Amino acid sequence: MNRIKQLRKEKGYTQETFCKILSIAQPTLSGYETGKTEPDFDTAYKIAEKLNVSIDYLLGKSLIQNMLFRC
């Protein structure tokens, strides 16, 4: 399950605005949101950072939104 669209909407971003923030084309974001394509690591990291979630949560690999690491 892909959560990019849900999280983007929760943060109040339109596709157009979020694409500008990420410096990607709208069809690219649409592909990520529909699950037709997955972002490369750098893009997934940037999306997760802007949406304040872990990459695993973003891509539906975890139920934990934010991962905190302690040393």
Residues 6 or more apart whose Cβ sits within 8 Å of residue 63: 57
Mean of the pLDDT values across residues 16-24?
Answer: 97
Per-residue pLDDT at 71 exceeds 50: no
In percent, the amount of the chain with pLDDT more than 70 equals 92
Classify residue 24 by its DSSP letter: -
Q: What is the pLDDT of residue 68?
A: 53
Distance from C-alpha of 29 to C-alpha of 25, rounded to nearest angstrom = 7
Work out the mean pLDDT of the chain and round it to a whole number: 88
Query: pLDDT confidence of 65, banded at 50, 70, 90?
Result: confident
Mean of the pLDDT values across residues 37-61?
Answer: 90
Q: What is the pLDDT of residue 70?
A: 45
Residue 7 token pair: 């999280």
Classify residue 53 by its DSSP letter: S
